[in-house]
Structure 1
Amino acid sequence: MTALRTLAFLSLIGFSTSQTSDCSYYSLLNYLNMTASNSVLQIMRPVKSWTNSTLVQLDMFLLGILEVEEKSQTITTHIWLYMSWTNEFLTWNSSDFCGIEEITLPKSLLWIPDVRINEDVSDTGSIQESLLVTVNSSGWMYMSGRQRLTYTCCLDLMMFPFDTQSCNITFSTMSLNEKTIKLGTFNSDEVLNKVSAEAMVTMGEWDLKSLITFNGPRARNRLRYMVTMERKPMLYVINLIVPLFFFLILDLASFFISEARGEKLSFKVTILLSISVLLLILQDMLPSTEKSLPMIAMYCVGVFALVGISVLEAMLVTFLIDLDCYCGKKAQSSVNASEDIQLQMGDVTESAEAEERGQAKEDRCYLPDHRDLLKLILDELRAVREEAGRQYKENKKRGCYRRLAEITDHVFFVLYFSASALFLAFMYLVWIAKVI
């Protein structure tokens, strides 16, 4: 009889328990007072005492670095946000509801932390947030979302393209202070970096170095992420740095081109125009708001200045050679003119002698003056001497201009080679060696 009574009592307890427990979500929502409109849960911070602050844990993972715009100083990334907090009014005992540990509710029915990114300049269409919030039995809530984030960043382009950029993404509350809401992270920096590195889809020309969080004691309602990334410089080295270096080497090699062929100056001008094209390409890449010139701009301007001075020197040497040729042509024309004069004087002398012989037959009493004849011979000798001296001076002057051009070209080549070597050594030590 005792055993029968015990079995009857246990069956009665099981029957009563099955009548009181409910395994539906509706009973849980009824218990949480979520079936009817409850505006208090939407507008009020979910704490039972107003002195308690709400801790919002926010994790950001990088899924891709899409674009870095140097002109507008903006960076476009693909991020995944994970945000969690505690609602003290939405708690239950899971054993009373057949072990229901979590429930999903619409965001419109609950209070959501007003957290925004200060540097955000992207449009609202790029945000893909979930419309649902997951709540567990202890009141802990979490939600996630993806966003194509475009944010401002003060880019330091001094070492471009060997630069490393560190940009801040600051999360803050728009209407609440640190006494009511505090921001923090759920995972550590190591976990954030590891997950971001594994989930990274694309990085373009950049490498993600680190993702560090800062949450200072003075601004607990702010959470700052510092994203450090390094540029891949190989494309810029091939397209800008190496061509400029080759142009400088070609300009040095152009000193071995003969000036007589007349191709040296045109070759140097072609090199100068090619450097101008590279400068235009660089202008489209770098912003015009930099206070100091980036190293690559100094490199381009230095090469352009060296080649420009080389072109001016080639123009000076060409001018001196042309001046020497002009003096030579003038001397040759004067020699031809003097030969014509001497021939004319010889004809006049012969005709005068013939007339004198004819007149001597008619008038034998007439005798020419020997002093006048000697005077004429002396004048002719003096004229020939002056002409020979003038030709000697012109020939000497002609050779002087050519020698001056050769000396100028040789001296300038030594100075130009030394200046180019010093300039390249300086750029290597100040620019490339610091990065390597």
Structure 2
Amino acid sequence: MDLGKQKSGAAGGRSRRRLANILTIGFVALSAAGGLGGGASAQSLGWFNFGPTGNDGPSYSTNRADPDFVREWEANPPKGYATLAKANIEATKMAVRQYTMIVGKGGWPQIPEPAPKTLRDDLMQYGTTRPDVALLRARLAASGDLRSANTTSNYFDNDVEKALQRFQASNGLTPTGIADKRTIVALNVPADVRLKQLKINLTRLQEAIPTTSKRYVVVNIPAAQIEAVENGAIVARYAGVVGKPERPTPLLKTPITDLNFNPMWRLPPTVISEDLIPRGREMQKKGQNVLVKFGIDAYAGGKKVDPQSINWEKVTPGTYTYSQQPGKENPLGFLKINFDSAHSVYMHDTPSDRIFGRNFRSESSGCIRVHNIENLAAWLLADQKGWNADRIAQIKEQGERMDVRLKKPVQLLFVYISAWATEDGVVQFRRDIYQKDGIGEVASSY
């Protein structure tokens, strides 16, 4: 339920280096068919699958086992390559051919998962010596992540660490270089399943890419990321929060039309029926009032209703409409981005940014929460006189209520791309969180 104040996480990991200095070795494509990237060098591939970071790329803690590194990486992803870039169609076709070869050779080995209560120090990581490491080497070599010719050693050396980080980054996991349970579950997704994903997502790419305009915003639901794209290149990539599997974010293509700064929250039907009313009944039994607790107003026929007069046992969806005034308790935060949608969804800020630092971010009721949304707003308003980052920051600081209509609507797409390849030859996979790929739970449970 998107009600209530959540504590904001403190920024950590102040001791940082630029991202490109953590690891400079990019993904090395499979050599069996000459490489997915057409012979691109490791140096030219930049940081894993994301492409060159440039001088304005994010920086991260150098201690990748530190929780601060995880939060920083997840909340501030590098720009990289656009998911809907035209070059990705041919790259994904090449990936299909490559994975067909992998499957033809028998795929890759399965790696034993760690016991549920295994401590971090007992996981496979740099310096570990045990038989499972040889399996890990063989697995990483099969997918092209491991360059070393040594695929039988039981020692977890620097080559294995780099290869595992490459795998993690291209599979939507934080590149810690530690083989935790989530990573091993991803490693154990069979090659033939990955091939099926590539084939079905190639069709999705072929349908979506030709529809993009010169300037657009895309939400890739499985990646839980938002991209602002101009002339085929990413201007910025943002961490997002997408709908839970039981409340999925819908697919859509529609223009962004206006922005609400410090907005009032009008509770959508799903939140009313599945969150507010059940919570109201629960709190009423304890002598509490959900509307008073969360500063929500109820209306009947356009008139405000006394919250103490409501019997939640008799309330049904449609009895009242509800709204919440701007403020610290408002789950929309200081900004809401609007567009036409038959599903009553929108993009918005949040009073708590801690969730953006998590790897799994399928937690909303269908709307999209956007990290650093003020930067996205500045880009959307860049062509409008009088608007810049400083003005938006001032509105946020002062809590000014304002609605702004875009003079030039910006195209918005919500897509479901869980497997694709980029122009550098890197094959990307993300969790099939809504199980749309027709492969069951095997690629959705990590």
**Which TM-score bucket, shorter chain as reference?**
under 0.3
Pick the structure with greater CA Rg.
1
Structure with more of its chain in helix, by fraction: 1
Q: TM-score, normalised by structure 2?
A: 0.21
Q: Which has the higher contact order (CA 8 A, sep 6+)?
A: 2
